[in-house]
Chains A and B, each alone.
Chain A
Amino acid sequence: MDGSTTEGKIENKINNCSLIRMRHIVKRYYIGQPNELEILHGIDLDVEDGEFVSIVGESGSGKSTLMNMIGALDRPTEGEYFLEGEDVGSLSDEELSEIRNRKIGFVFQNFCLISRTSAIENVELPMLYAGIGKRERRRRATELLEMVGMGERADHNPNELSGGQKQRVAIARAMINDPAIILADEPTGALDSKTGRMVMDIFHELHDKQKKTIVLITHSRELARETERMITIADGEIVDG
C-alpha cells in the first residue's frame, strides 16, 4: 500500500466517511460538438463499509456507466467520487490502475478470464500486477480457489470449465488482492438459474463471513431484493434507495 492510500484510510476514519461517497456525479459523452450525451445527471451515492447493495436499472438506465465510475474504469465529467476517502476524480491513469488493482474486485457477466491461461494463473493475475512474489501468489490463489470450490480444477484452462466454474474462478480472482469492494456486473446473467444461485450464495457467504462490501449491478429486481439495500437507477438518476 502506498502513502496516499494510507492517508486515505486515515482521512476516512477522521471524517467518518462512507467507503464510496459520490456527489453530483455527471457523465457526459461528446459525440462531436454540439451533440453531447449526458448519461448520468448528478448521482449522489454512499456505500458503507461491509454493505451488500444492489444497483438495479433497465438497460440504458446508466447503471453500467455508474459501474464504470465506481470501478475506476472511467472518470466522471463532473462531481466528486471518494473511495476510502481518496479522491478518484483527481487520479492519473497509473493511479487509477492501482486503485482497480488493490481496491476493486471485478466480476463480469461474461467472466472475462484470460484464455489459454490456467484458472490459477487467472486468479494470480492481479497479484502479478501488484508485484507480489510467485510463492505468495500461488499460496493465496490456491486458498481462494479452494474457497470457491475450484481447488481441483486449478490447472484447467477456461475453455475446459463450465460457466458456473468460470464465474467461481472469476470471483476468486476478484478477491485475490483483498479489495475494498467486490463490483459484480450481472454476475449471473450468463448462467442458468441453478449455477446463478450458487454464485449468489458465494457472494452472500463473502458478505456474511468476511464482511466484504459488495456492489451488485443487475437488471433483476428479484436478485436485488436479496441484498441489504436496493438502489434503483432510471434515466441516469437514482430514483429509489
Chain B
Amino acid sequence: MPFIENIRLAFRAIRVNKLRSFLTMLGIIIGISSVITITTIGNSLQKTIASTMNELAGNNLMYGMVQPYYPETDEEWDAWEMPELTENDALTYDKLIAYKKAFADRVKAVFVERDMGTAVYETKAGKSNVSLKGASAGFTDIYKVKMIAGRSISDEDNEKKAPVCVVSDLFVKYAMGLEENPIGKKVVFPTGEYGSVTAYIVGVYHYEAKVFNDVSSNKSIPEKNIQTVVALPFTYVWDLMGFDETDGIDFFNIVAGEQADAVAVKNETVAYFDKMYYADNENFHFECQDMASQMGIINNVLLVLTLAVSVIAGISLIVGGVGVMNIMLISVMERTREIGVRKALGAKNSHIRAQFLVESIILCLLGGVIGIAIGLFNGVILSNVASSLVSMYAADVAGYLVVTVRPSIPAILISVGFSVATGIAFGYYPANRAAKLEPIDALRYE
C-alpha cells in the first residue's frame, strides 16, 4: 500500500470530521503556537540586540573602571563606608596610555572622555550650540563618526595638551558659515565656568543624528540649530577644568582588535591593571565589563524564558496528544466494520496500523503547522509592537536600534518534529488496536 494512499485517506478522514479534528488539534495548536511566538520574539530580540551592538561597537566594546571591594554580608554593609579614592587608586590618563602601549597588538582603541558642558558659538554667519568634550584618541571608533576633512584627536594632541579641536560639518556650515575647508581656523568658545576656550580646527566629522541621541529632536529642530559635539584633547580639557592626578577617571572604553578574542582581552586587561596598580590595594580593584557578556546575560534570560514556555507548551502537547489518542480510539471504534472489510479484502495488520498511524500523524502535523503559522503571526506582530514602543518611549536610544524580526528556524523545525512525535506516540496505541482486531469480530461489529 503506497504511503501517499494513507495520506489521502488521512485527509479524507480529517475532512469528514472537520470540527472534531480541529478541536482535537487545539491542544497542539496552542502548544506549538506559544513556543513559536516566544522563540520568534526571543530570536528577534536577540538579533536586534546583536545588530544594535554591532552598530555601536560590536562585541569588542568593553568598559574599564575602578571599583571598591564591596562587603559580602549584610552586617558588613551596615558598617561599611565608601573608601576614599587616593592618587594611587585613581585611573589616570597616563595609566591608560601605558596600558594602550602594552596592549597595542590586541586593542584597537582605548577611549576616555570628559564633558565640559555647552557653549554658544556665534559669528556673523550664525549661532550654534555646541557641547565641548575632552576626548582621547579613538573618538571616531567609539562614536562611529566619519572624518570628512583633516584628522581626529590623536595621542600626540593629548600628550602636548594641544589646543586643537574636531568639529562637525553642521558646525562649519551653519555656525562658521564656511563652504571651504576650515582646517587651521581658530575658534573660541565662551564657556561660563571655564572662561573662553580657544582651539584650532584639525578635523571635520560628518554629523549623524542617531549617534548623538538626537533622534527625537532631529525631526522638529532645523538642522542649523542642532547642538553638535566639539572634541578637544582630553588632557587639555582636564587642565582647563582644573583637575589633577587625584581626580580619577571614572571609566573608559576599550575596543578590542577585530582579530582579537574579546573575552581573552578582557581577562588580560583585568589582570594587567590589578597587577600593575591594585596588587596590594585593600580598597579598590579593577573591573572590566564587555558587551559580549552583557549579551550573554540577555541571552540567558531569553533562554530561561523560552525553556519555561516550552515546558508549558510541552504540557499542552501532552494534553493535546491525549486528545488525539482519545479521538483516534473513537475513530477506530467507529470504523471497526471498515477495518473488518479491509481485512477481508486482504489488508494486513501493518496496512491497518499504517493507515491509522498516518492519520494521527497528519492530525498532529496539521495542528503543528497551524500552530507555527499562528505563532509566527503573533511573534512578528509582537516584535514590531515592541520595537515601535521602544521608539515611542525611548526615542533617545531608538536611533541605535536596528530592529530585526527573525523567526527561529530551529524552533520551527523542532516544532514540526514534536508534532510528528506526538502523532506517533499517541497514535500508536489506537492504530495498533485497530490492526489487531480479528477480521470476523470487526466484520460482525454493529
Contact = CB atoms under 8 A, between A and B. Distances in A.
Interface string B304-346: 0000000000000000000000000000000001101111111
Nearest to A179: B346
Interface stretch (A13-21, A54-62, A128-136): A128-136
A112 B335 CA distance: 12
Given A114-B341, A128-B5, A93 B349 contact: yes
Interface residues of A, number: 27
Interface stretch (A98-106, A161-169, A192-200): A98-106
A100 B344 CA distance: 6
B2 to A, nearest CB: 8
Interface string A108-150: 1000111111000000011011110000000000000000000
Given A97-B347, A129-B345, A115 B338 contact: yes
A128 B443 contact: no
A63 interface: no
B77 to A, nearest CB: 77
A94 interface: yes
A94 B349 contact: yes
Contacts of A128: 1-2, 5
A139 B1 CA distance: 18
B12 A116 contact: yes
B16 A73 contact: no
Given A73-B443, A112-B337, A128-B1, A102 B349 contact: no
Contacts of A73: 343-344, 439-440, 443
Contacts of A130: 346
A236 interface: no
B346 A101 contact: yes
Contacts of A173: 345
Interface of A: 68, 71, 73-74, 93-94, 97-98, 100-102, 106, 108, 112-117, 125-126, 128-131, 173, 177
28 contacts: A68-B440, A73-B344, A73-B443, A74-B438, A74-B440, A97-B347, A97-B348, A97-B349, A98-B346, A101-B346, A102-B346, A106-B345, A108-B341, A112-B340, A112-B344, A114-B338, A114-B341, A114-B342, A115-B338, A116-B16, A117-B12, A126-B345, A126-B346, A128-B5, A129-B1, A129-B345, A130-B346, A173-B345
